[in-house]
Amino acid sequence: MKATKLSYILLFLLLALSSTLSLGQKVSFEAICNGREVLVGNPFEVTFQLRNAKVKKIEPPSFNGLQAQGPNIGQSFSYVNGRSSTNESYSYYLVANKPGTYKIGSAKVITNTGKTLKSKAVTVKVVDRPSTDDNADLAGKVFLRTELSNTDAVVGEQVTVDIRIYTQVGIEQTEMVKEPTFENMYSHYLRSFADRPEIVVVEGDQYYTQVIRRIVVFPSKPGVIIVEPAIINIGITSNRGRGMFNPFSLESYTIKSLPVELNVSELGGAVSGFSGAVGNYEMQTHVSKNKITSDDVVELTMRIRGQGDIKQVLTPNIGADKKYFDQFKPNVNEDIREGGGLLGGVKEFQYVLTPKATGSFTVNPKFIYFDSKEKKFITIDTIITIDVSPGTGKLPTKAERDAAGDTPLVVEAIKSEDLIGFKAPLTSAQFTKEKQGFFLGSFLFWVLSLLPFLGLIGFLQWKKKQAALGNISDKDRKRDNAGSEAAIRLQAAKTALNQGDSKLFFNEISKALLGFVSDKYNISTVELTKDNVRQKLAAQDIAADKIDSLVGILQTSEMALFAGLTNSDSMEKVYQESTDLIQLMS
């Protein structure tokens, strides 16, 4: 018994001693970089580590010209030989677009005990990469091009930019390192496009080629615009493996496209009433009714549909004479769509017209756009007839309105005999007391008397609820419906999986995930790509494990599309992981 008590006492003393030793661990804060000399466009990592303390607040350093993505936050704990230690890390991926020497400044951290620490500055040398032609292994076998659908465009015209790879060797994976920059242009990354590998002949040699990224751009200023090169990393299987059990290895290469020029000119001539639309469009009009009374209003809808930057379409002129109609500011709805490898959409303008005279009138809705193929302005118009007959409200006739010109019209006064007559107040009155009937004053009498008022109150409450529902913004509505919209696309992916269509399957998986992120976290589809989704979600304070899962699925889909993966088990796994992730983030 005494021996047992002594064992407990010794164990207690050992634990106390180990706790004392752990408390005495040195607190440190340092910067660790995984490269001191790197190539232009190649990512490298810098990590700021705090040991044996907890972060209360951290201030990242100045990266001085380096593109930074992060931070990725990590935590660890260890207990070795009676000593415990903790480690918190904040990592950033960095890329330099120009050669030179870059200095990463000091980061500052405040620990949970209030202590302030600073890391040392880090210097990295960035050198220019050798061209692919200097690489004997790839010379003439693999190259990258930035291809424009049109090298001569007008301001506002849609131009597609394809990042296309040409290869004579098997490529296992691709990773976009640097995408082209688009100065003085609005750009939009397409989610879906024709990316099936093709066989082409270039200067007498046969290649497999595939589009790995498609962007549509709309130049905003005239002049010569330089589209900067794109840089990608590729992985190629090599037979220079390590040992008999691993005879093959994946060798990484970096390839770069050449810059290309886009010549942008002004639109030819100025046309009054130009809507700002450039591309190919059509117009549809609709009125709620062509025959109304002076008590009614006319609802006129003008719908513009086509290929181009639909956001630039200005409010068109519907050709309603202000002398005959009061016109209110239209309600505008916009829907941006992708199709056929291009960007387009629908923009709808809903007008309300109130008549100011009776008679037969015409309105002349007109839409003017610049046809980028024909290189000329196109006018689409139509004539709508509206007949206004007298109602209870007194309005002048069209002839009276025309004759008056700008002079205010006075509507003919209502004659006294048209008014409801009122008798003079009683000067005296006599009342006779009569016996009331059974119904008057009964419970049923009061219930029936109050019923209209109760109905009115219920109707007003219903209207209030409907108004509240109508005031929900598109942003909130998209956020609330993000999960259901993603489920629809996942169902399409499931159908493709059952049919064995791997290309359609992985396309639908990518659309479902990126569309869900766009709707759920209010990130514009224009700003969201497979390459920057990690940065966008990190800015929304999304958990790192969820971001890693999402990026992993997107990368798997992209590699599968390029390599033509058709393994049904792998596709089933990707589908289940996507479904679980969307449910977890909903």
What 3-state class would DSSP assign to 368? strand
Look at the chain and report how many structural domains it folds into. 4
Contacts of 160 (CB under 8 A, 6+ apart): 148, 149, 214, 215, 216, 217, 341, 342
> Which CATH number belongs to the domain containing residue 203 in this structure?
2.60.40
- In DSSP notation, 466-490 reads HHHHHT--HHHHHHHTHHHHHHHHH
Assigned domain for 288 exists: yes
pLDDT band at 130 (very low <50, low <70, confident <90, very high): low
- Give the type of residue at 358: T
Least confident stretch, 2-11, 317-326, 336-345, 566-575? 2-11
Residues 107 and 121 grouped into a single domain: yes
> Which CATH number belongs to the domain containing residue 64 in this structure?
2.60.40.10
Chain segment 274-311, per-residue pLDDT in tens: 888 999 999 999 998 999 998 888 999 999 999 999 88
Assigned domain for 328 exists: yes
Residues 289 and 396 grouped into a single domain: yes
Chain segment 472-500, per-residue pLDDT in tens: 566 677 777 788 788 888 888 888 888 88
Residue (of 289, 296, 323, 287) closest to 389 by Cα position:
296
Rg of the chain (C-alpha set):
36
Contact indicator for 95, 176 with CB cutoff of 8 Å: no
pLDDT band at 454 (very low <50, low <70, confident <90, very high): confident
List, in sequence order, the alpha helices (H) in 325-436: 398-404
Q: Is the pLDDT of residue 424 over 70?
A: no
pLDDT band at 417 (very low <50, low <70, confident <90, very high): very low
pLDDT mean across residues, the chain: 79
Bridge partner list, 103: 123
What 3-state class would DSSP assign to 234? strand
Contact indicator for 354, 365 with CB cutoff of 8 Å: no
Q: Is the pLDDT of residue 464 over 90?
A: no
Assigned domain for 223 exists: yes
Final residue of a structural domain among 404, 430, 453: 404
Residues 229 and 202 grouped into a single domain: yes
Cα-Cα end-to-end distance for the chain: 59
Buried b (16+ CB within 10 A) or exposed e, 30-53: ebeeeeeebbbbbbbebbbbbbbb
Chain segment 394-404, per-residue pLDDT in tens: 889 888 888 87
Residues 164 and 251 grouped into a single domain: yes
Task: Give the model's pLDDT for residue 29.
Answer: 93
Bridge partner list, 377: 370
Q: From CA 242, how far away is CA 249, in angstroms rounded?
A: 8
Chain segment 109-127, per-residue pLDDT in tens: 999 999 999 999 999 988 8
Query: What range does the domain containing 63 cover?
Result: 21-127
What ranges make up the beta strands (E) of 288-413? 291-293, 298-308, 325-327, 331-339, 342-355, 359-363, 366-371, 376-381, 384-389
Residues 199 and 85 grouped into a single domain: no
Q: Is the pLDDT of residue 375 over 60?
A: yes
Residues 157 and 236 grouped into a single domain: yes
Q: From CA 27, how far away is CA 71, in angstroms rounded?
A: 21
Residues 260 and 164 grouped into a single domain: yes
Residue 550 burial (10 A CB sphere; 0-12, 13-18, 19+): buried
What backbone phi and psi angles, to 5 degrees, belong to 333? -120, 140
pLDDT band at 245 (very low <50, low <70, confident <90, very high): very low
- What is the pTM for the complete model shown? 0.48
Q: From CA 392, how far away is CA 293, in angstroms rounded?
A: 9
What backbone phi and psi angles, to 5 degrees, belong to 321? -70, 125
Final residue of a structural domain among 228, 248, 265: 265
What backbone phi and psi angles, to 5 degrees, belong to 288? -65, -40
